[in-house]
Structure 1
Amino acid sequence: MPSYPFNGEEVRRELPVGGYIPQSFIDYPGCIAAVIFTVGCNFRCSYCHNPELVEPERTVVNRRIPFHEVVRLVGRNRSCLDGVVVTGGEPAMHASLPESLRTFRKLGLRVKLDTNGSYPEMLDLLLQERLVDCVALDIKAPLRPSRYEEVVGIPCSEAMMKRIERSCSLLLNSGIDLVFRSTLLKGIHASEDVEEMAAAAGNRLVLQRFRPERTLRPLAAGAFSDRELQALASRFSCVICSSG
């Protein structure tokens, strides 16, 4: 199995968990699911609303939940659950992810993964082993380095864009349930950007509202109005996600 470093540190043996929701009715469409938040991300999106997961060192209280405790809690509630959602942060950066998902499979649960698409080798492994039933991939901007850098807050290369393109291709050919999402920032994303992102998503893009109340970094960008979002969705055959 390929190695996936955790911010340059030695790979952790257990999935690093920084948050847990016992039961959600909105994070996995059509399923009642537990939600597991992993710690760590290779991107630094200014608008991220989970800053304590992306940069845990910045928080006053850095809580971690042992993975075995999460498994115990999920198992205890198994009769009330259809599945689990593993989100972050970026779950695919952790080498422990496949074994963690195998654990949930043994409990008979469906699995949804949220990812930024920058780890296609991990995604390919999960698809080959049929460890995921649904994947939500966030497309941050048109797949060009300069445009991606503007959103994700780190240097991007053509190689990174190819990695995300490969992840999109893997998913579009996988036959599993898919969600391609883009959070739109007024002042950063233009209508032609939505057109490009929709094309990368095989014309099945979900537009998410920017939530300015809690972000990783201060930013000048604003949120599109409901009318503006609806106009973009209608023009490029997208769907609007009200829950984000």
Structure 2
Amino acid sequence: MIFAGITKSSLLDYPGNISIVLYTPGCNYDCFYCHNRELIEDLTEKISIEDIMDLLNKRIGLIDSVVISGGEPTLHFDLIPFLKKVKSMGYLTKLDTNGSNPEVIKNCIEEDVVDYYAVDYKAPASRYKEIVRSNADAEVVLETINLLIENSKTFEVRTTVIPQLSINDLIQMAKELPKLPRYVLNPYRTPVNYLPKDEELVKTPPYSESEIAEMASIIKLYQTNVILPF
């Protein structure tokens, strides 16, 4: 397993738990607002698996969970063996994913290696390729989400409320999604690193927290379990 970043202690990434967050390089999406662009382009220095395991061994009993984020972790062939090893150490596990690889998620479910999933739903289906800028398919992401529901897994879906999404977009997304146990609307923050061609997009003024809260009150008509992280 290859990692290119680490947060040694987080109270935010796994609800109710203290986590170590490990970031995998590489992604099959190219969202203009990505906060981990250096991971998309695989420009970061790699962290040896020996250093990762040494840290995990030292933190047993001090940290509750290990979060695998990215980049897109499901692109890595040895994700499941690594998760098995982490669980054998007594940690809870969480997987952050863009939902583009339902077959990998199916395998994770069958092997019972993930305790909590977080899936990003980026845009209305009709705008998915525009926002994600790849061959992304919202239907594939919805397949991943439905797999988690059908198998009674613990998960949340997340949407970053970028300024390019209107309330009508958010309503359409809420209608497209199945009934969710937890739907997190995250505020948009300007990324530090972005492509020069995207400067106008990334510097569009964001919605305020009060505006997002107002949007959430409308979205709750379609998704009752909306969460605001502020």
Q: Find the aligned partners of 2:30 and 2:66 in 1 and give their Cα distance.
A: 25
1:1-244 equivalent positions in 2, closer than 5 A: 15-57=1-43, 62-144=44-126, 147-156=127-136, 160-186=137-163, 188-199=164-175, 200-203=177-180, 204-217=182-195, 218-220=199-201, 221-237=204-220, 238-242=226-230
State the shift of 1:75 in Å: 1.0
Q: Given residue 165 of structure 2, which amino acid in structure 1 is its aligned partner?
A: H
State the shift of 1:214 in Å: 1.8
Q: Find the aligned partners of 2:178 and 2:97 in 1 and give their Cα distance.
A: 14
Note if contact 2:34-2:191 (Cα within 8 Å) is conserved in structure 1.
no
State the shift of 1:206 in Å: 1.0
* Structure 1 ranges of 4+ moved more than 6 A: none
Q: Find the aligned partners of 1:150 and 1:215 in 2 and give their Cα distance.
A: 20
Q: Find the aligned partners of 1:232 and 1:67 in 2 and give their Cα distance.
A: 43
Note if contact 2:4-2:25 (Cα within 8 Å) is conserved in structure 1.
yes
Q: Given residue 165 of structure 1, which amino acid in structure 2 is its aligned partner?
A: L
TM-score for the superposition, normalised by structure 1: 0.84
Q: Given residue 240 of structure 1, which amino acid in structure 2 is its aligned partner?
A: L
State the shift of 1:129 in Å: 1.0
Which consecutive unaligned segments of at least 5 residues does structure 2 have? 221-225
Q: In the TM superposition, what whole-angstrom CA distance separates every residue of 1:162-214 from its partner, at most 9, and x where no partner exists? A: 3212101011222222110000111x211121122223152442111111142
Q: Pick which of 93-102 and 219-228 moved more.
A: 219-228
Distance of aligned partners of 1:193 and 1:74 in 2 relative to their CA distance in 1, 3 Å threshold = same
**Percent identity of equivalent pairs:** 32
Q: Given residue 125 of structure 1, which amino acid in structure 2 is its aligned partner?
A: N
Q: In the TM superposition, what whole-angstrom CA distance separates every residue of 1:92-122 from its partner, at most 9, and x where no partner exists? A: 1111100110110110111000000000000
Q: Find the aligned partners of 1:56 and 1:95 in 2 and give their Cα distance.
A: 17
Aligned pair count?
Answer: 218
Distance of aligned partners of 1:37 and 1:219 in 2 relative to their CA distance in 1, 3 Å threshold = farther
Q: Find the aligned partners of 1:215 and 1:227 in 2 and give their Cα distance.
A: 27
Distance of aligned partners of 1:56 and 1:173 in 2 relative to their CA distance in 1, 3 Å threshold = same
What RMSD, in angstroms, separates the aligned Cα atoms of the two structures?
1.5
Q: Find the aligned partners of 1:166 and 1:56 in 2 and give their Cα distance.
A: 28
Q: Given residue 26 of structure 2, which amino acid in structure 1 is its aligned partner?
A: G
Which consecutive unaligned segments of at least 5 residues does structure 1 have? 1-14
Q: Given residue 67 of structure 1, which amino acid in structure 2 is its aligned partner?
A: I
Q: Pick which of 218-227 and 74-83 moved more.
A: 218-227
Q: Given residue 50 of structure 1, which amino acid in structure 2 is its aligned partner?
A: N
Q: Secondary structure at the match of 1:17?
A: coil
